[in-house]
Structure 1
């Protein structure tokens, strides 16, 4: 197979933990050829979606781990698979990229996750489709609604709808200290919609990342445990990842969502679960392959490439 990765610059990768690198390594191990490009390299020319794409050669060196062949302008439909692995922010440039990828699909490209499915599944708001698994949640830009929600639940979390890695998450406790300032900051004085949720105390045991691949559930989760008084378990915010078997509730959530999300064109999904509650549905560039594999021996990248080879969307 020829596999093209739409991703962030390879020079930014931390290969000891990067999920996209794990995918690349497994693909090369099986004899597939891999390529890379960024959204800035895409163009629509004469009605055809093309990109300046470079073949990636893995060197096996832990420092200079890759070499790029000279870039060529190629149709995305020339590849057996195009993997959308660009991290947020999910801004208008991200959306424009999904439009181009969707056009490329119409021209024969096989894109994973499907660009329309990525657009349709905001990673925070998508949990509202599965409210039987969520903590009490409010989505609004209205200060009075937020204050009323805090008055009802006392201990709450406020977060932007377009963040990643735990950025912009605030906890407000019973005393309401700084609530007004946080509302002003996150809503940009009432001009931006945010999410507010009742605080889930089980966060001390970890924010669990559960992976779904082609409608099947990876049997281990990575519990990202907050450190040093943090409310955020995200690895990017200093959380420590501990792999563990799925609980009965984890399985209930994962097995309910897996076939639904797969049918919608999402090959790879990362569910975030705190305690018994679903908190996010990650579809842009889910991670944690390497941490789970290193701690449990379960080869997540192999499961993913198996699904890719089977054309499982």
Structure 2
């Protein structure tokens, strides 16, 4: 068991202890820290406290982190929409609501669980939790992504992602009428200064560029096509919010009270193009907008 000892400084006074620990111990997620409180693994001045406890200057915090359990991800017979498959790669059209890979507290029902059932081989570069996963899209983002079936394919694809040579286009429904036909958002993205679970445009962030094109404009909404030049976490969601047009359904970076009832952001990874790791030929895949996305657009066109 690992033990971490901390003492609260003047600048940290009156913060909730769970938020403080998320900032101070970056290797632990907030969900994991919440679990430590539930298991009475966190003390302040030798007494167990709740996650909402507000710290005081001089408080001595003791965090006991249990030994990591051996992780085992089980194959599950979950239907997959496979666009293309060969001995090196499999291209999937992921539905909205499916998590790409397991994480603490969520080891079932993910794309990886489904892949382990449907594929005999997946690259092992990312270990037990993320076999074959070269890139990700958010749980509530639907659309196309490629999975590597062996290490050679994984390395080849990973190099293309690093070089930003892979074509990735998304369709997004955003708040407000965008008056321009399109534009380029060149703004660095990093962790939010006040909320480590979020990302934001920050001066010290990583280089991030999104190209967008307005496809349709409705009453108070716009349909845009976004092409990623870089691939930062939540990039489209952060960038569109940054220019004042957050994604419909995005309660993290957009409107807290949504005008339309949506489960998650209206964002679809529509096109993916890359050099095949074995043939060295460029191949491109396109996925149809999901039915809920199409129905929403049809509704807006009638307004």
Instruction: Judge same fold: TM > 0.5, yes or no.
Output: no
TM-score of the two chains, using structure 2 as the length reference: 0.27
Higher relative contact order (CA 8 A, sep 6+): 1
Q: State which structure, 1 or 2, has the greater radius of gyration over its C-alpha atoms.
A: 2
TM-score of the two chains, using structure 1 as the length reference: 0.26
Q: Which has the higher helix share?
A: 1
